């Protein structure tokens, strides 16, 4: 519950920017490249945040760092509403990214260390699926607020997740596995050996995440603006109601079941097979979406892309949790996931630049290539199905 709600509200806060992106471009006179660069800053910060919060989670506890990361991204999302310039907005987006990076590895580690191997995939799938709920909720809330007030109030609502931290601190225990590790800490030399043995797996997982995240951030940062922008600027000129309906359907009929099904498939057939299947299907789904022109076909192809292109992230959390030992788990998990987030942070900027010159359809098509490369990288990562955490 704690990890799922934290991840859902992380999605809610982060995606508020994408949903009001077209409005912000008009308000501040931003080009597509500038707008993409602001999201790039957030992703770079998330990589830095994962180092900080992952390091502290291995030493001070998963629960405590989960609370601190949620508090960080909530307060700085709220601060975005006070922005009066692109520079000011960029600074607040960078700071909220620190909390965004820390929440994922603290929450995923908390769940992985609590659930047994034969249920771990489904448990983490439930946590990851909350991202889709948060995205859909952000679309509904933004639609409601923009119809009545300004874009600033969309960000002001982003402070609400901070209330969750009071319950987490009072009602969520630390995993027994982590507590036992604290009672019998490893020496500095033993920890260095653990890191040395983990390097090949860390690099393989990192490469898979880099390509997968490049494709995801390139697509889903720009899909809202792609729908909202006029046809003359390379968009689809959806009205506010159609736009909101599209995003809700995309998340609840695409991302949400994609996460849940991945958990069941990975627990039955293996983590690696499930990841490769999802990434190949995502690569095949992107070109039809990029070429679609009718609204119903855009919705169908986008939902299929979201189903596979988002669901595979459950596998990243699973493999990372099962590949790395307890004393370094949160730090290594954060490195494999959020370092990839930082490197792939160029995706919104690159796709925006391609969109400026050739149209967003071509930018989206390049994301399909990235999904295929992620599948190739996943083939080099070992299978961990059935592995109990030590």
Share of the chain above pLDDT 90, in %: 7
Contact 371, 212 (CB under 8 A): yes
pLDDT at 130: 82
Q: Give the Cα separation of 2 and 170 in Å (integer).
A: 11
Distances (CA, A) of 68 to 39, 73, 176, 305: 22, 9, 21, 33
Per-residue confidence at 372, pLDDT binned at 50, 70, 90? very high
In this structure, what token pair is assigned to residue 40?
């790039």
pLDDT at 311: 86
pLDDT at 228: 65
Outline where DSSP puts E strands in 183-260.
none
Of 4-18, 64-78, 85-99, 269-283, least confident by mean pLDDT is 4-18
| Residue labelled with tokens 């990192």 | 206
Q: Which CATH class is domain 2-378?
A: mainly alpha
Q: Give the Cα separation of 105 and 128 in Å (integer).
A: 12
pLDDT at 73: 81
Contact 377, 205 (CB under 8 A): no
Q: Which residue has the higher pLDDT, 231 or 108?
A: 108
Contact 80, 158 (CB under 8 A): yes
H or E segment to which residue 358 belongs? helix 346-358
| Residue labelled with tokens 């099962």 | 322
| Residue labelled with tokens 């990851």 | 128
Quick check: 260 pLDDT over 80? yes
Q: Give the Cα separation of 104 and 338 in Å (integer).
A: 9
Per-residue confidence at 236, pLDDT binned at 50, 70, 90? low
Q: Give the Cα separation of 160 and 74 in Å (integer).
A: 7
pLDDT at 242: 61
Of 122-126, 163-167, 181-185, least confident by mean pLDDT is 181-185
Backbone angles phi, psi at 380, to 5 degrees: -95, -5
Of 40-49, 98-107, 238-247, 354-363, least confident by mean pLDDT is 238-247
Over residues 53-99, the pLDDT tens digits come to: 877 877 777 778 888 888 888 888 888 888 888 888 888 888 888 88
The pTM is what?
A: 0.72
Distances (CA, A) of 334 to 54, 178, 205, 341, 342: 6, 16, 11, 10, 11
Q: What is the mean pLDDT of residues 31-58?
A: 78
Quick check: 233 pLDDT over 60? no
Q: Give the Cα separation of 115 and 119 in Å (integer).
A: 6
pLDDT at 164: 73
DSSP 172: -
Q: Give the Cα separation of 262 and 272 in Å (integer).
A: 11
Q: What is the mean pLDDT of residues 347-358?
A: 75
In this structure, what token pair is assigned to residue 114?
């609590």
Half-sphere exposure of 118 (CA within 13 A, CB side): 0
Any idea where the domains of the chain sit in the sequence? Answer: 2-378
Outline where DSSP puts E strands in 19-67.
none
pLDDT at 232: 57
Contact 107, 2 (CB under 8 A): yes
């Amino acid at each position: 519950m704690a990890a799922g709600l934290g991840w859902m509200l992380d999605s809610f806060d982060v995606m508020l920017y994408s949903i009001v992106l077209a409005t912000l471009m008009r308000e501040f006179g931003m080009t597509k490249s500038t707008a993409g660069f602001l999201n790039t800053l957030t992703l770079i910060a998330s990589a830095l945040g994962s180092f900080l919060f992952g390091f502290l989670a291995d030493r001070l506890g998963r629960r405590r760092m989960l609370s601190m990361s949620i508090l960080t991204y909530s307060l700085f999302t709220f601060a975005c509403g006070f922005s009066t310039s692109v520079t000011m907005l960029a600074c607040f987006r960078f700071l909220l990214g620190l909390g965004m990076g820390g929440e994922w590895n603290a929450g995923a580690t908390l769940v992985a260390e609590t659930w047994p191997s034969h249920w771990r995939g489904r448990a983490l799938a439930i946590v990851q699926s909350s991202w889709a709920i948060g995205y859909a909720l952000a679309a509904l809330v933004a639609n409601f607020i923009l119809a009545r007030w300004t874009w600033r109030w969309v960000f002001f609502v982003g402070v609400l997740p901070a209330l969750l931290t009071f319950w987490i601190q009072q009602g969520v225990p630390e995993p027994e596995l982590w507590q036992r590790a604290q009672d019998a800490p490893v020496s500095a030399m033993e920890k260095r050996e653990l890191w040395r043995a983990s390097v090949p797996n860390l690099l393989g997982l990192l490469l898979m995440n880099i390509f997968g995240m490049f494709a995801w951030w390139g697509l889903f940062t720009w899909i809202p603006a792609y729908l909202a922008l006029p046809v003359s600027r390379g968009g689809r000129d959806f009205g506010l109601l159609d736009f909101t309906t599209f995003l809700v359907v995309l998340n609840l009929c695409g991302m949400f079941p994609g996460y849940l099904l991945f958990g069941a498939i990975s627990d039955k057939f293996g983590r690696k097979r499930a990841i490769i299947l999802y990434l190949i299907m995502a690569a095949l789904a992107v070109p039809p979406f990029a070429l679609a022109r009718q609204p119903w076909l855009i919705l169908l192809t986008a939902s299929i892309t979201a189903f596979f292109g988002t669901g595979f992230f459950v596998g990243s959390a699973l493999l990372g949790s099962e590949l790395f030992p307890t004393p370094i788990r949160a730090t290594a998990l954060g490195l494999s996931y959020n370092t990839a987030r930082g490197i792939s942070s160029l995706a919104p900027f690159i796709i925006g630049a391609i969109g400026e010159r050739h149209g967003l359809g071509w930018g989206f098509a390049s994301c399909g290539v990235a999904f295929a490369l992620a599948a190739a990288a996943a083939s080099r990562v070992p299978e961990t199905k059935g592995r109990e955490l030590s």
